Structure 1
Amino acid sequence: MSALGIVGGVLQPVVVVAASPVLVGVMRQVRAKLEGRAGAGIGQPWRDLRKLFRKERIAPRGTSEVFRFAPLVLVTTTLVVAVVAPFATTDSAMVAVADLFAVVALLALGTVALALAGLDTGTAFGGMGASREMTIIALVEPTLLVAIFALSVRVGSTNLTSIVTSTLYDPARVISPVSLLAAVALIVVIVAETGRLPVDNPSTHLELTMVHEAMILEYAGPDLALVELASAMRLTVFLGLLANLFLPWGIATSAAPVAILVGVLAWVAKVAVLGSVLAAGEVFLAKLRLFRVPELLAGSFLLALLAVAASFFLA
């Protein structure tokens, strides 16, 4: 564990926790401006979280510890990814956990915990949302693995820090067919994993369209605040991975204070731009009908497979 890795392991989760609600606020504000509305301001998500944390914790009758601990699992797994992934620095605080398979497993664990909590409530909405979420994750997780694996083939390692460092010192790889195919597949994965349009609509409570929201309808107070915070953190983590796997410039390669500051600012700027572009795109998209979502995800998996094939033939 290097000094650079320790600094990144301390700074990155702090930035993720502090900036994730702001990112959601920025994205909502971008949508509001494009739709001709004033918007509530970029600080509104933090104000909502503060209000929820002050409320009383309430759990539905008959629920078990699965329901109570799911928000903590969701937050914890995301925090671990924020600690180990190369966002602001090229070194990791825990190199072994910065592996592709470990990171994907951690992100999937949080999703599964929330789906189990939806089932634990015993409500029709919770079961429906959990069923839909499991259908999506069954298609999304293989795509995420294969897309990033395509980048790891030419590096010879599935460690995310090695992939980012390799791209940093060989910029020509960014415009290769492997990177372009993997990037498109990963964008679709991020949209599905974070519940954005056209896969899901985070602002709706309509029965026929809910996926993520259906699983958390029974949460209230601090538990709901943790779920909302974790959702924002996961969005930041996924956009950070997308930014640094394909555009790692600005990331700190030394423990010098100036390099660390530039790395954090570059990471925040890239995530903010990607989030704004995602929000702007949502204005012009409609939600897909549920039975069409697997077709979209299957298409992204095919692109990821093509990226892997291209990584062998074009290496």
Structure 2
Amino acid sequence: MKVLSAEDVRRTVPMPAAISAVRDAFLELAAGHFVLPARQIFGDGAVLVMSAYHTPSRTAVVKKIGIALDQVPAIRATVIWTGAGEQLVADGTSITTLRTGAVVGVATDLLAAPDATRLALLGTGGQAADQVRAVLAVRPITEVAVTGRDATRAAALAKTLAAEFPAVHFIPGTSIDDAIITADVICCATSSSTPLFSVDALPDRVHVNAIGAFRPTMRELPRDLLAAASVVMVDQREAALEESGEIIDALTSGTLAESDLLELGTALTTKPDPTGRTVFKSVGVGPQDWAIAAALAASVRSS
């Protein structure tokens, strides 16, 4: 049995490779090549267990997640990947942030303007940095507004990212409206239970990713944005209907119908024609974890 640390995960699967792996996994999901048991939720979402079985390779991944929103990182997880005669255990916290960033990279590549240069990051928690890394991997971003409730944390994150991406201008702050007013891409990575902004504060052409709200009681996006968006894309319809507060609210209110939700795997095979404002809402699904774990296992096998 091979045990991999967070440092091993980062060294072995850089963000561009993670985006490619996750993109391929969603194509496999769309083709019906995964068995996905329902996510198990304990303690009102304090503990989650996710799993996925890839039928062509006969490999599986199981992830146990502990969530404490008052801590940094808020997510602590362990991933177990199993194949015929081999098993790998890896730091699930790094895999979770990496695969969540990667799926945002895939979605942004599908929906954001090809010449997008300005990114607004809303949130400074454990998921935030990989949101930036993913968008920078697929779009020619030159300016990033880093916004959080705590100005000190926003400044610290901006400084860390600036050292990693010296050609990009990072602007820390606490005003969401100032951050999004000229944004081409917005990444929401918060634990908010109420929408972070009004639709009137958005540019006419913008792509919005939302990954922070993972419970039915949580919402980062305003209902009016979902109503006005030319594309509302989700990682998987079934998961979004069960866990996304924004999607559940939009369906309950009649703002959206289930048929309005475009699944990511479908969009990869039949590409949408995005205009105006677009949205990608992710709650996370097992094939994302499988994609990163499979890449790790392949690297271990070849070393």
State the TM bucket, normalised to the shorter chain.
Answer: under 0.3
State TM-score, norm by structure 2.
Answer: 0.24
More strand by share: 2
Higher relative contact order (Cα pairs below 8 Å, separated by 6+ residues): 1
Q: Mark the structure with the bigger radius of gyration.
A: 1
